Structure 1
Amino acid sequence: MKISYHGHSVVKIMTGGKTILIDPFINGNKLTDLRADKEKPDVILLTHAHNDHVGDTLEIAKENDSMVIAPVELANYLGTFGLETVGMNLGGSKEFDFGTVKYTKAFHSSSYTTDDGDVIYGGMPAGILFKAEGKTVYHAGDTELFGDMELIGKRNDIDVAFLPIGDFFTMGPDDAAYAAELLKAKLVVPIHYNTFPPIKQDPEQFRKLVKGSDVKVLAAGELFEI
Structure 2
Amino acid sequence: MKLTFLYHSTYLLEINKYKLIIDPFFYDKKLLYNNIISKYINNKINYILLTHAHYDHVDDVNFFYKKNPDILLISNYEISSFFEKKGIKTYGINYGSFIEFPFGLLKYVIAIHSSSFLNGTYGGNPGGFLLHTKEKNIYLSGDTSVTYDMKLIPKYGKIDLSVLSIGGTYTMGVEDAIIASELLKCDNILGVHYNTFENIKIDKKKSIEMFYNNGKRLILLNTGESINI
Tell me the residue number matched to 1:82: 87
Question: Counterparts of 1:221 and 1:133 in 2: how far apart (Å)?
Answer: 25
Could you list the per-position Cα deviations for residues 19-43 of structure 1 after superposition, in whole angstroms to 9, with x for gaps in the alignment?
1110111253798853597363110
Does the 8 Å contact 1:72/1:123 carry over to 2?
yes
Could you list the per-position Cα deviations for residues 142-161 of structure 1 after superposition, in whole angstroms to 9, with x for gaps in the alignment?
00011111221333311111
Tell me the residue number matched to 1:63: 67
Tell me the residue number matched to 1:153: 154
Does the 8 Å contact 1:186/1:213 carry over to 2?
yes
SS of alignment partner, residue 117 of structure 2:
strand
Does the 8 Å contact 1:31/1:195 carry over to 2?
no
Question: Counterparts of 2:51 and 2:43 in 1: how far apart (Å)?
Answer: 19
Q: Percent identity among equivalent residues? A: 39
Does the 8 Å contact 2:137/2:161 carry over to 1?
yes
SS of alignment partner, residue 201 of structure 1:
coil
Tell me the residue number matched to 1:3: 3
Structure-2 change in CA distance of 1:133 and 1:155 (3 Å): closer
Structure 2 unaligned regions, length at least 5: none
Question: Counterparts of 1:39 and 1:170 in 2: how far apart (Å)?
Answer: 32
Of 121-130 and 132-141, deviating more is 132-141
Task: Tell me how far 1:179 sits from its aligned partner.
Answer: 0.7
Tell me the residue number matched to 1:49: 53
Could you list the per-position Cα deviations for residues 116-169 of structure 1 after superposition, in whole angstroms to 9, with x for gaps in the alignment?
xx2110100001111223311111000001111122133331111111111111
Task: Tell me how far 1:78 sits from its aligned partner.
Answer: 0.4
Does the 8 Å contact 1:187/1:213 carry over to 2?
yes
Cα RMSD after superposing both structures: 2.0
Tell me the residue number matched to 2:170: 169
Of 100-109 and 128-137, deviating more is 128-137
Tell me the residue number matched to 1:19: 19
Question: Structure 1: which 4+ aligned runs deviate by more than 6 Å?
Answer: 29-32
Question: Counterparts of 2:41 and 2:223 in 1: how far apart (Å)?
Answer: 17
Structure-2 change in CA distance of 1:39 and 1:169 (3 Å): farther
Question: Counterparts of 1:225 and 1:181 in 2: how far apart (Å)?
Answer: 22
Tell me the residue number matched to 1:122: 123
